[in-house]
Amino acid sequence: MRFSLLTFLTIAASTINTSKADLDAHFLKPCLTSLSQSPAADLLQEAQTALEAGADINARDERSGQTCLMAATLRGNVDLVRFLIAKGADVTIPERSGFTPPHGAGFQGRADVMKILKEEAGIDVLNAPHEDGFLPFHRACWGNQPRHAETVEYLISLGADVNKRGGEGKDLTCMEMTKNADTVAILKKHGAIGEPKSEL
């Protein structure tokens, strides 16, 4: 038949696309997995195997828009973050709400990941922009865990202004945003002004 070649090429192209999508999904799976669910070494090996098989290092999860790097950042998977950066992952790709890895590291209180983003990827973690007007420093101020206070302290060590206001139409300082007693202590030590949120 005259259309047999066209039909064959269409089927072949569909097969290739499906295989690529499956490969990318397999690559993203360990990145989206919590360290409490699987050892870091196993997750790294799984991602590395998929990448070597041809997965796109900058593939994005369909629901969250997260790349493997963003997902690993949020979950604090230091080994995977370091591996992806070394392999050339694009550190500027945001997830669906526009947050990039420095914002993810701040929001989840990942000081160790923030340090890798700064030192190994060369990201300006202090001034990474977002349309809501908050900086990664402010994201860390929101958190209530000790690791958030650690992230605040690390960013201050890089030169973060403890009295920097942020938030489109909100104009809040870190002190005004936090309920974290550890963060409050760190801010006071570094000369922050104002009062923390109530109900510390």
128 and 57 assigned to the same domain: no
Full-model pTM: 0.86
52 and 129 assigned to the same domain: no
pLDDT in tens, 105-154: 999 999 999 999 999 999 999 999 999 999 999 999 999 999 999 999 99
Q: Residue 84 is part of a domain; what is its CATH number?
A: 1.25.40.20
User: Could you tell me the residue range of the domain that residue 16 belongs to?
Assistant: 1-96
Of 63, 52, 51, nearest in space to 24 by CA:
51
144 located within any domain: yes
pLDDT in tens, 60-115: 999 999 999 999 999 999 999 999 999 999 999 999 999 999 999 999 999 999 99
102 located within any domain: no
128 and 49 assigned to the same domain: no
31 located within any domain: yes
81 and 126 assigned to the same domain: no
174 located within any domain: yes
b/e map 53-88, b = 16+ CB within 10 Å: eebbbebbbeeeebbbbbbbbbbbbbebbbbbbeee
146 and 195 assigned to the same domain: yes
66 located within any domain: yes
Name the domain count of the chain. 2
